Each structure stands twice: as C-alpha cells, then as structure tokens.
Chains A and B, each alone.
Chain A
Amino acid sequence: MELSDYLPIALMTLLGIGFAVASILVSKLLAPSNPTPEKLAPYECGIVPLQDPVERFPVKFYLVAMLFVIFDVEIIFLFVWAVSYKEFGWAGLGAVVVFMLMLIETLAYVWKRGALEWNVARRQRYRRIVAEGHLEEAA
C-alpha cells in the first residue's frame, strides 16, 4: 500500500470538478438571468417573510449529533479488530466483548435518560392523564 494507490481518487475528483465546471458553463450560456426582488425573496408560499429564518431550533438535533460523534468514534475501533481477529483469537474476542458492553451500556444509559425520546410533551401529557386517573375519559 503506497500513497500512489490513492491517485485514482484524486483523478476522479478532478474529473468531477471538470464535470461541475462544464455544467455551470453550459447553464451560464443557456439560462436567462433576469432577477427581480420578488423572484429573489425567500420562498414562503406567497407570504412576505417578516423575519430571518429561526435562530433557535430544537435541541434534539444537537443531542443526536453529540451521540453520533461518541458512537462513531467507538465504532472505528471495531474496524481495527475486524481485519485482524485471526491473530487475536479468543483473547481478542474477549477484549472486544468488554468494549462492546461499554458501547451497549452507553446506549442503555442514553436510552434510559430519555435522550432518544422525541415526543416528550406527548408522553408527559399521557403520564399526567394516567396519574390523575382520567385514562378512560381521555381514551
């Protein structure tokens, strides 16, 4: 394995860039350019937008991204073992089982803490209804 093995990838990237540039040039030649303020306004089904797009978004998205980073980094270590399990044998399998258990424990912890629940408000309303004993009425 040498660095030159990666040459095709660099070349493919160049070909891809060439394709992109060519398509932009053709489009520049063929497409009209006649922008008006109405055309350039952000699309909102015909309503004039009053403010910039939301600055705040549900924190769930951030949480998912954090979880992804944790899990993805841990999974990368599995690849190292996956290509050389023959050399490691049972000892390697034991070590990986311990490692996987930690991964599963993380998942279980996150799950238990409710980080994977997206409909928290609905759950809470349901629990309140159950606690107040109005389940039959609500149903």
Chain B
Amino acid sequence: MEFVDNFWFQLVLKLAGILGVVLTGALVVIYAELKIGSHMQTRIGPYYAGGRWGWAQPLADGLKFLQKEDLSPTGSDRTVYGFAPYVVMMATIAVFVVVPFGPDMVGANLDLGAFYLLAISSLSVLGVLMAGWSSANKYSLIGGLRAAAQLIAYELPLVLAVVAVVIQAGTMSLNGIVDAQQQTWFTIGSFNISAPFIIQGQILGFAIFMIAAVAELSRIPFDMPIAESELTMGYLTEYSGIRFTMFFLGEYASMISLSAIAATLYLGGYAVPGVHGNIVNLLGPGVLLTKVAILVFVIIWIRWTWPRLREDQLQTLAWTWLIPLALLNIAIVSIFKVVF
C-alpha cells in the first residue's frame, strides 16, 4: 500500500472528497429547503420524485436543467455571459480548500487562511456583476448593480467580525483558530475549561457574521437583487439550462461554505471536547457537518419566515448598524485581549 502514502494521491483524494461533499451537500440543502419551506408554510412540497418523501427531487431538477436549451439573448456579450456562472461556482468551491474538517483533513492549512477565505468569497461579486452587465436586459442590469452594492456593503461587517476572531485567536490559520478554541480558557480546581469563541464573548461578532452572511447569500430578507415582484429574477433573468444550474448550485454551495466558516470561527469547528489524537480526523467531518446543518437550517428558517427589506433599509442596516457594531466588537475584544 505504498501509493496510499503518496503526497499527490492523498492531495487529489482529499480535494475530490471535498468537491464531492460540497456538490452532494448542495443537493441535500436544496431538498431540505423545499421540504422545510413547505412544512413552514403549510404547502405540499415535493413528494413524487424518488418515492415516498420525494427525495430525488433535486436530482430530477438537475437532470431536467441539463436537457434544457442554453440560450444567450441577442445583444448579450457572449463570452462574459457564458463565463459568469463559472466564476461564481469557482469562487464558492475554492473556499473549501482551507476549511478544516479535521486536524489533517484539510486541503491546505494556510497561515493566511482567514484572509484567503474573505478574498476568494468576495470574488463571486465579480461573477454576479458580469452576469448582470452582459445579459443586455434591464432587469439583469439593475439586479446586478443591486447585488454588487449589497455584497460589498455586507462584506465590510463580515470582514470586521472576522478581524475580532483573528485578534482573539492570534492567528489567521483556520486550524490555528480551531486549536485556540480548545485551549484552556480558565480553570476551576483541577478542571480546565475550554469553550468555543461564541461563548468566549464573541456572541455579538457571531450575530454580525450571520446577518452579513445571509446578506452575502442574497437570500430573504436581503434578496433585493432578485426581488421577483419587481425584477423578475434579477441578474439570473436571462439564464437557462446548465448555466442557470451553476448559479443555483453555487448559491446553495455558498450557503454551506459560509456556514462552515461560521462553524469554524465561532462554534469550535471540527473539535470534539475532551477528544484528542488521530480519532478526531475520523469524527471531525461529522462534527463540522452537524454544526453546518444546524446553521443552514437557521438560514432556511429565516428565509421562510421574514419579509423582504427595501433597498435603502438594506444599505442603512449595513452602514449605520452593522459596521459601527462590528467596530465596537473589535474594540471590546482587543481591550480584553491586551488587558488579560
């Protein structure tokens, strides 16, 4: 079994595993959204495809999309139009390279992990703007502009919330951040108490991060870029077939990626309390995915219960509430960190 220890073999296996988990995870989340949404709003939801619970609905949808005609409207910039969905998809997939599923179960343990995450995840703005601009459609253009303005406005509180975590952990490596949450926080008698950052005074940061994350996903209550009642489908209006599927999959994959980031930064990531050594590599993915599932459920829950914000309310929330609060959060965390 010499080839198992081969560096290249392990790397490709890990990355293919991550890609597989992300894509099947996106399908699972699509199904969860259909089911949870229908339960919350007393609708029927999927129940034909695949048998009793309609579990094959996302697969059937995917197959249907593959067989649909891929149109690019007259007057559109074909190269940019065709390329845009893949920019969004790539930006989402590339995020997962640094998300640790276990001490060794990570694509790349970068020293600049948190920085890389923020840089790559904001690349999807580019894809959205490309889609809106190149479609030669009024709805698409306005939707693209709104999306760009929204994504960059909520990027700031997101980044500021992460700065506070980096200060607390003292490192930008995501593995380092998970380790920092296993360090002894304080001791009672002979017990060493450790806690994830959300308990160690980052509750405000976590709230800011999650609100900004929902806005980054352009989901209700922050879905002005898509706002069906006024913009048809926003920057997605002209897309059909496989390219629409890419946007669709990308949206749900980035739901998973943002939840995974939040779980790693605030909820302790893959760590299992009191368990150390090689076994964590085995348990880690399950632990992380459980936390991701809980956060994804909350995001779906918000979508099916809240009304939509107006464009000006949305911008005001980011600039006059979240950014000052995030700065306050940094101040509190850094003062505590330097004093103690």
Interface residues of A (CB under 8 A from B): 1, 5-9, 11-13, 15-17, 19-20, 23-24, 26-27, 30-35, 37, 39-45, 49, 52-54, 57, 60-61, 64-65, 67-68, 71-72, 75, 78-79, 82-83, 85-86, 89-90, 93, 96-97, 100, 103-104, 107, 111, 116-119
**B182 close to A (CB within 8 Å):** no
The reply to whether A68 and B242 form a contact with Cβ atoms under 8 Å apart is no
Q: Can you name 8 extra interface pairs (CB under 8 A) apart from A12-B15, A41-B73, A86-B170? A: A11-B11, A42-B73, A75-B160, A79-B163, A82-B163, A89-B338, A100-B327, A107-B319
Q: How far is the CA of A110 from the CA of B90 in the complex (A)?
A: 35
Q: Which residues of B contact A100 (CB under 8 A)?
A: 327, 330-331
Q: Which residues of A contact B73 (CB under 8 A)?
A: 40-43
The A-B contact count (CB < 8 A) is 199
Q: Which residues of A contact B155 (CB under 8 A)?
A: 68, 72
**B16 close to A (CB within 8 Å):** yes
**B75 close to A (CB within 8 Å):** yes
Q: Which residues of A contact B218 (CB under 8 A)?
A: none
Q: How far is the CA of A38 from the CA of B68 in the complex (A)?
A: 17
| Interface residues in B60-86 (C-beta closer than 8 Å to A) | 66-75, 86
The reply to whether B74 and A41 form a contact with Cβ atoms under 8 Å apart is yes
Partner of B74, one of A5, A42, A93: A42
Q: How far is the CA of A107 from the CA of B160 in the complex (A)?
A: 14
| Interface residues in B290-321 (C-beta closer than 8 Å to A) | 311-312, 315-316, 319-320
**B171 close to A (CB within 8 Å):** yes
Smallest beta-carbon distance A59→chain B, Å: 11
Q: Which residues of A contact B237 (CB under 8 A)?
A: 43
| Interface residues in B83-140 (C-beta closer than 8 Å to A) | 86, 89-90, 93-94, 96-97, 107-111, 115-116, 135-140
> Chain B: interface residue count, which band?
35 or more
Q: How far is the CA of A1 from the CA of B172 in the complex (A)?
A: 13
Complex A-B: 20 CB contacts under 8 Å: A11-B12, A11-B15, A12-B18, A12-B97, A12-B107, A23-B245, A27-B242, A30-B67, A32-B69, A35-B69, A64-B149, A68-B155, A68-B156, A75-B156, A85-B337, A97-B331, A100-B327, A100-B330, A111-B319, A116-B319
Main secondary structure of the interface of A (DSSP, over half): helix
Q: How far is the CA of A16 from the CA of B88 in the complex (A)?
A: 11
> What residue of chain B has the Cβ atom nearest to residue A69's Cβ?
B152
**B334 close to A (CB within 8 Å):** yes
> What residue of chain B has the Cβ atom nearest to residue A51's Cβ?
B138
**B232 close to A (CB within 8 Å):** yes
Q: Which residues of A contact B116 (CB under 8 A)?
A: 9
The reply to whether B141 and A57 form a contact with Cβ atoms under 8 Å apart is yes
The reply to whether B166 and A83 form a contact with Cβ atoms under 8 Å apart is yes
**B323 close to A (CB within 8 Å):** yes
> What residue of chain A has the Cβ atom nearest to residue B315's Cβ?
A118
Main secondary structure of the interface of B (DSSP, over half): helix
**B159 close to A (CB within 8 Å):** yes
Partner of B94, one of A12, A26, A68: A12
**B59 close to A (CB within 8 Å):** no
Binary interface encoding of chain B residues 227-259 relative to chain A, with 1 for a CB under 8 A from any of its CBs, else 0:
000001000011001100110000000000000
**B272 close to A (CB within 8 Å):** no
**B26 close to A (CB within 8 Å):** no
Q: Which residues of A contact B111 (CB under 8 A)?
A: 1, 5
Q: Which residues of A contact B275 (CB under 8 A)?
A: none
- Which 9 A-B pairs give the minimum distances between C-beta atoms? A118-B312, A27-B242, A8-B108, A68-B152, A82-B166, A8-B107, A42-B137, A82-B167, A64-B149
With A6-B108, A118-B312 as contacts: A45 and B232 at CB distance below 8 Å: yes
**B283 close to A (CB within 8 Å):** no
The reply to whether A19 and B19 form a contact with Cβ atoms under 8 Å apart is yes
Q: Which residues of B contact A1 (CB under 8 A)?
A: 110-111
**B148 close to A (CB within 8 Å):** yes
